[in-house]
Structure 1
Amino acid sequence: MKKLQTHIPCSPEDIAKIVLLTGDPSRSQLIGNKYLKKSKLVASYREFMTYTGYYKDVKITSTSTGIGSPSTATAVEELINLGAKIIIRVGTCGGALKKEIKAGSIIIPTAAIREEGTTKEYLPPEFPAIADFSVVNALIKNANELGYQYYVGINRTHDAFYGQSQNLRKWGSIYLNNRMKNWLFPLISSEMECAPLFLIGTLRGIKTGAVLAVNANPEPLKAIMEGKFNFDIPASKIQTKEAKASVDRAIRTALEAAVTIKDEL
């Protein structure tokens, strides 16, 4: 029998091969209580709250990580030790970085910029953090079938929720270049957890992906670079109705994707 993990203290039998990873413990609880059948709380320690149940007869675990990359890396490592083979992050990203991506949409990242400290303790920053293609395709397929508005592109993972906008601006320099300003720049979201999930998944041989709820008004990177976006106005204020709707869409997309890829286990 495998040793109990330090932060997710349960047995491998309690953890499904497919795991939905949330930041917010209340979202893990929501998935367990509302979306899964025959669900039970199998572990609760610090920010790590873990439920296991069934969705359309597929065994699924939901685990929370709290905010940021260090705790996400901890959860991912321990879930893999407990037997997880597919981990899909179900998170939020606030306001998207393109004006056309409105609150209520969902984002499916293909990769994450590693602008955080945790993954640098695994590999140099030049090594990419990439989602598994089969997971990305399953998420896209099911978002389509559910009729949701979704966007696919590159995500930025960073450390400071209240960090300075200058750290974001370096990624928008393309918009100030006359030759490149009209190119299709694929950086569309910013959050705090995807990079360690994708990188550790690659290193440890499991499949990973993410679906992000857009729960605030856009904060377009192009407008920021051109000095046309005012951070002092409540442009990123959470829209309660759309925020709840986008989280529901992200959860349902992830669950249906889990059903789609279960045969790859």
Structure 2
Amino acid sequence: MSTSHKETPHIKPGGVEIAETILLPGDPLRAQFIAENYLENAVQFNNVRGMLGYTGTFKGRKISVMGTGMGTPSMSLYSWELIHVFGVKNLIRIGSAGAIQDHLNLYDIVFAMGSATDSNYGHQYNLPGHYSITASFELLEKAKKIADAQGQKVHVGNVLSSDIFYNADQTALKRWSEMGILCAEMESAGLYMNAAHAGVNALCILTISDHIFRHESTTTEERQTAFTKMMEIALELA
């Protein structure tokens, strides 16, 4: 059976093909925005639980986009199915993050070279030590070249993928900051571990939507423009 006719309890394409390269925003409405504004001949392949997914073409190359929800469990569930059931080879998360370094500013773009985490997702692999969670260098190198060609300044480094949004320990982010962590988000660790275990490529591209220590944040309207820059880098990776 071809992958276009397979389905899972969470993804039911109804015969629509899912491309080998997929963009993964957390918000399914962001997936819809990309499909409607960037993809040609976009066809919806999923709406189970409102998690919208689409396949179309960008500059003649087939590409898919789908929401993942928030947090490692949600990202890990969808990315595992996309990899193992539908044959996706390149998974690119595009999301928002909160800066915890002073040299980062609102709207800056971050490529997550590494992903520190407080999640216990990796326990399933029964590794005899601590696993270093990293992006695919193939995608990271290509993304940096695309950003340079577009004249987009980006930050490349380690991010925090946390299971906790409202942390009872209000000193936690300060300690991560002292280890050089650039920003905090909630999905990259699960995505990177799934991809590594399956031998496929993953990269997390983030836009700084707020600065946690400076109490700065963007509006919904402002995020639309900032996210667009990130999308345009990601789309070129197809």
- TM above 0.5: yes
Unmatched 5+ residue regions in structure 1? 175-184, 221-228, 230-234, 259-265
- In structure 1, the residue matched to 2:88 is 84
- Distance change in 2, residues 1:149/1:241 (3 Å): farther
Report the alpha carbon displacement of residue 238 of structure 1 after superposing the two structures with TM.
2.3
CA contact (8 A) 1:12 1:82 kept: no
- Determine whether 1:246 maps to 2:226: yes
- In structure 2, the residue matched to 1:71 is 74
Task: Give the aligned residue type for 2:231.
Answer: I
Of 162, 166, 174 in structure 1, the residue corresponding to residue 171 of structure 2 is 166
Unmatched 5+ residue regions in structure 2? none
- In structure 2, the residue matched to 1:192 is 186
Larger radius of gyration: 1
Give distance in 2, aligned partners of 1:189 and 1:70.
20
Report the alpha carbon displacement of residue 63 of structure 1 after superposing the two structures with TM.
1.0
Superposed, 1:1-265 pairs within 5 Å as 1=1, 3-10=6-13, 14-80=17-83, 81-93=85-97, 95-123=98-126, 126-164=130-168, 165-172=170-177, 174=178, 186-216=180-210, 218-220=211-213, 235-240=215-220, 242-258=222-238
With normalisation by structure 2, the TM-score equals 0.90
- Distance change in 2, residues 1:119/1:236 (3 Å): farther
Give distance in 2, aligned partners of 1:48 and 1:40.
14
- Distance change in 2, residues 1:79/1:117 (3 Å): same
Give distance in 2, aligned partners of 1:88 and 1:74.
15
Residues 31-75 of structure 1, C-alpha deviations (whole Å, 9 max, x = no match): 111111110111111152110000001100001111111010111
Structure 2 counterpart SS, 1:5: coil
Structure 1 counterpart SS, 2:209: coil
Report the alpha carbon displacement of residue 167 of structure 1 after superposing the two structures with TM.
2.7
Report the alpha carbon displacement of residue 13 of structure 1 after superposing the two structures with TM.
5.4
Structure 1 counterpart SS, 2:76: helix
Identity percentage over the alignment?
A: 28
Report the alpha carbon displacement of residue 12 of structure 1 after superposing the two structures with TM.
7.3
Q: Comparing 17-26 with 118-127, which one deviates more in the overlay?
A: 118-127
